[in-house]
Amino acid sequence: MKTNTKLDKQLDKLKNILKNSKALTLDEITKAMGWSPKFKKENREILEIWINSGEIMKNKRNKYNIPENLGFIKGKFSNIKGKFGFVDTDTEGYFIPRSKFGTALDGDTVLINVTTPEGKGKQEGEIVEVLVREKNTIIGIFEKKENFGFVRPTQSFGRDIYIPKNFFNKAKDGELVVVDVTFWGSDEKKPEGKILESIGNPFDTDNMIKALILREGLSEEFPDDVIAEARQIPTVISEDEIKKRKDLRHLPIITIDGDDAKDLDDAVYVEKLDNGYYKLIVAIADVSHYIPTGSKLDKEAEKRGNSVYLVDRVLPMFPKEISNGICSLNPHEDKLTFSVELLIDSHGRAIDVQTYKSVIKTAHRMTYGNVNKIIAKDPETTEKYSDIVDMLFTMLELSKIIRAIKYNRGSIDFDLPEVKVVLDENKKVKYLKNIERGESERIIEDFMIMANEAVAEKLFWLEIPSVYRVHETPDPERVKTLSETLSRFGYRLHSFEDIHPKKFQSIIEDSEARGINMIVHKMILMSLKQARYGVENLGHFGLSSNYYTHFTSPIRRYADLLIHRILNIAIHGYPTKKQFGTLINYLPEVTQHISQTERKAMKVEDESVKIKIVEYMLDKIGDEFKATIVGFNNKKIFFETEEHVECFWDVTTAKNFYEFDENNYVMKDLDTNREFHLGDKMDILIVRSDLQMLEIEVVPTEFCHEYTGRRKEGRF
């Protein structure tokens, strides 16, 4: 992740020169840059490096220029479910239609040509060149012929891959395989490759999730040298180390997590003082103590960026010896922590903030469920944890005060319903469960947000280079589009340029009262920019917070580990000149990297859940569900069931003719003039569950007698 600072400065200088001039030859660049003509070969090699990375371009007359002068833009390609994509630059994103992907795959660095299609006001991009491949492997289904074969990609890649016979690698016809692409294709020739590995039956969901992991370049395993380094870390804390820290072992500090959590990295303690103030201690696993910068464990964690929580397994950022062992705040064990101690007045304002290294011994490993039972005054659970019951109610009291502060400043509460896929011992779906956020979940969320804000504000005013969690104000054009959609529900946004999050929160609250919150929540969420990591403190729009970072989960997020290291510098004084320079040069690149790994994690987590849900619905073909209309396109009406399963009705399979009215955002039955609106409730029947396409097709129950679409094994 480290860069060559000297070369970076040279590149910036050259780009500024080219920005204000026509294309230049090597000799002209050598003179303008002040390079020695004696090193012509070396100078040309430097330019070639920059050409390969897409920073500059060379034409047929051997003249150099920057892509921007030629109408091209460089960025990172994100493939959205194979249907469309975006290319993100440092400043904005460009929509890429499916037909304009070229050979680009998710994560590739590309050059695009920006166009404005006729009849559309928005700019779109066409990928004209792939500069840097994120990976050279593709997952697909092998079609074996006598003397050659093809692999039909399961991910979005528009062309089959030709496989010569000597590169079959014992793969069988119809198997899911991993292909190393050796030639990416041209107008005249198909892409070519060789099979690296056979995964097996393409409709076995365990194989599908394995393929998903391989496709995204992730791994369940750690390199041997990383594991060896983890096992060398002492598991016993020395008395010398304890003496250097604030000893909090006498306090009844507790962890509160989900039932199945194993990486416990945050613990909390609350005390109400005689003057009515509250003392809140948020103690976080001190991962930075065990993971030196530049170590093998550190480099592997940086590469991964974060843990990935798939439907049936976890791909941790650290080996289990760290994540579930040494650093996990397991009950009744001495653990090293980095603590934030806040003195909070009766109005929820932080009067004093202290950050320090500490040692704790948690009194209990609490679960959200048990804390919620205690709050509901369940006698058995209350008796079992009688020693901390009073503290839990003090936590609830403080949490509600903090929550009121957040509410008053306009923090958006996206309480979106979430489905949890519960698996049996064979990794088959037992049932789908709606996850509801109780008071215990809100308590931890409120405390963690307050700790993150306190750390961010402290580092900001110390003027130390740092990592911030950035959520920028939404783009006015997207707010305008949102306003047009919301107007169909009677809501209107009057300001597009200077929108305040409190306006969104008021709409969300009203939509809950009207029973349309699920749709309204999602529409607002889709209009907002995606949160990311950055070195500038641009605030967090969604939380309506002026200062925000991630400090509370260093076991599973590399951003938090970085903050711990920066905060450790701060508590020992101001950074040295060398430390300051290192942070300035390193943080911009690493924040971009971990923003990308976070997006990848979210994508594969969602897809793994989708795989299992589609498998589960295979046994529900012919069953009836209650659902709500949540969207439209020219051919489909999209539904979400009460269990939060996404599905669609293909209206082209119906007896009557339908037309999507984009202006009024309704689907019209042209034969009967009936209209289907967002938020309409309907009974639907499952008619197809497709593991290959990862989609679930339905028909409204009232129209099932006229369904002309695909049947599944005659079961409908």
| Total number of residues shown for the chain | 716
Task: Tell me what the mean pLDDT of segment 18-37 comes to.
Answer: 88
Q: What is the mean pLDDT of residues 6-35?
A: 86
CA distance 286 to 575: 20
More confident: 6 or 438:
438
pLDDT digits (tens, 9 = 90+) for 244-257: 999 999 999 999 99
Please state whether beta strands 109-115 and 72-80 pair in parallel, antiparallel, or not at all (unpaired).
Answer: antiparallel
Residue 712 scores a pLDDT above 50? no
> 5 vs 144, which has greater pLDDT?
144
Residue 376 C-alpha from the chain's centroid: 34
Task: Note the pLDDT tens digit of each residue in 556-592.
Answer: 999 999 999 999 999 988 899 999 999 998 999 899 9
Among residues 520, 493, 529, which one has the least CA distance to residue 414?
Answer: 520
Q: Which CATH number fits domain 137-202: 3.30.9.10, 2.40.50.700, 2.40.30.40, 3.40.640.10?
A: 2.40.50.700
Q: What is the pLDDT of residue 526?
A: 84
DSSP summary character for residue 321:
I
pLDDT of residue 94: 84
Please give the C-alpha separations between residue 29 and each of 5, 65, 71, 288, 572, in angstroms, as whole numbers: 20, 10, 21, 45, 46
Do β-strands 334-344 and 350-361 pair in parallel, antiparallel, or remain unpaired?
Answer: antiparallel
Structure tokens at 529: 């920019």
Residue 704 clears pLDDT 90, i.e. is over it:
no
pTM of the model: 0.87
Instruction: Count the neighbouring beta carbons within 10 Å of the beta carbon of residue 464.
Output: 17
Between the two ends of the chain, the Cα-to-Cα distance in Å is 54
Secondary structure in 3-state letters for 95-127:
EEEHHHCCCCCCCCEEEEEEECCCCCCCCEEEE
Domain ranges (residues) in the chain: 5-68, 71-132, 137-202, 224-472+534-608, 476-528, 621-706
DSSP 505-550: HHHHHHHHHHT-HHHHHHHHHHHSPPPEEESS---BTTTTBSS---
Residue 34's beta-bridge partner residues?
Answer: none
Same fold: 137-202 with 621-706: yes
Pairing assessment for the beta strands 84-88 and 72-80 based on DSSP bridges: antiparallel
pLDDT at residue 711 is higher than 50: no
* Structural tokens at position 341: 């101690």
**Which of 664 and 368 is assigned the larger pLDDT?**
368
One-character DSSP codes across 329-374: --TTSEEEEEEEEEEE-TTS-EEEEEEEEEEEE-SEEEEHHHHHHH
| pLDDT at 288 exceeding the cut of 80 | yes
Which residue, among 186, 207, 75, 188, has the nearest Cα to 139 in the 3D structure?
207
Residue with tokens 């394995």: 210
Which tens digit of pLDDT belongs to each residue from 305-327?
Answer: 999 999 999 999 999 999 999 99
More confident residue, 554 or 520: 554
Ramachandran sector of residue 299 (left: φ over 0; alpha: ψ -120 to 50; beta: rest):
alpha
Report the range out of 43-52, 130-139, 361-370 with the highest average pLDDT: 361-370
Q: Quick one: CATH architecture of 621-706?
A: Beta Barrel (2.40)
How many other C-beta atoms lie within 10 A of the C-beta of residue 408?
Answer: 11
3-state DSSP: the chain helix, strand, coil percent, rounded to 5? 35, 30, 35
- Which of 67-81, 210-224, 356-370, 593-607 shows the lowest per-residue confidence on average (mean pLDDT)? 67-81
Residue 347: pLDDT band with limits 50, 70, 90? very high
- 96/79 Cα distance (integer angstroms): 9
pLDDT band for 384, please (50, 70, 90 cuts): very high
Question: Strand pairing of 350-361 and 246-247?
Answer: parallel
pLDDT score at 619: 92
Residue 189 confidence class, pLDDT cut points 50, 70, 90: confident
Q: Are 617 and 645 in contact (CB under 8 A)?
A: yes
CA atoms of 596 and 589, how far apart (whole Å): 11
Does residue 79 carry a pLDDT above 90? no
User: What integer pLDDT is reported at residue 715 of this predicted model?
Assistant: 31
- Whether the per-residue pLDDT at 36 is higher than 50: the answer is yes
Helices 368-375 and 389-409 cross at an angle (nearest 10°) of 90
5-19 and 40-52 helices, crossing angle to 10°: 80
For residues 411 and 545, the answer to whether their CB atoms sit within 8 Å is: yes
Predicted pLDDT of residue 4: 54
Paired tokens of 658: 């339908």
CB-based contact 668:658 (threshold 8 Å): yes
Span 225-241, pLDDT tens digits: 999 999 999 999 999 99
Report angle CA 517, 518, 523 to the nearest 5 degrees: 95
Q: Which pLDDT value is given to residue 91? A: 66
- Which amino acid is located at 242 in the chain? I
CA–CA gap between residue 341 and residue 282 (Å, rounded): 6
Tokens for 273, please give them.
């003082």
pLDDT in tens, 97-124: 888 888 888 788 888 988 765 545 567 8
CB half-sphere exposure, 374, CA atoms < 13 A: 24
Q: Is the Cα torsion angle 29, 32, 37, 41 positive or negative in sign?
A: negative
Residue 216, pLDDT above cutoff 70 = yes
Q: Which of 131, 9, 116, 135 is nearest to 75 (CA)?
A: 131
Could you list the beta-strand ranges (E) of 568-645: 624-632, 636-641
What CA–CA distance (Å, rounded) separates 479 from 486? Answer: 10
d(CA 25, CA 58): 9
Q: Compute φ and ψ for 690, nearest 5 degrees.
A: -110, 110
DSSP secondary structure code for residue 44 in this structure: H
- Percentage of the chain modeled with pLDDT above 90: 62
Overall average pLDDT of the 494-520 stretch:
83
Q: How many CB atoms lie within 10 A of CB 104?
A: 28
In the structure encoding, which two tokens stand for residue 168, read together? 């079959």
CB 615 within 8 A of CB 429: yes
The pLDDT mean for the chain works out to 90
CATH of segment(s) 71-132: 2.40.50.140
Nearest 5°: the CA angle 372, 552, 219 is 100
CATH 3.40.50.620 fits 5-68, yes or no: no
DSSP letters spanning 116-164: --TT--S-EEEEEEEEE-S-SEEEEEEEE-SSEEEEEESSS-SS-EEEE
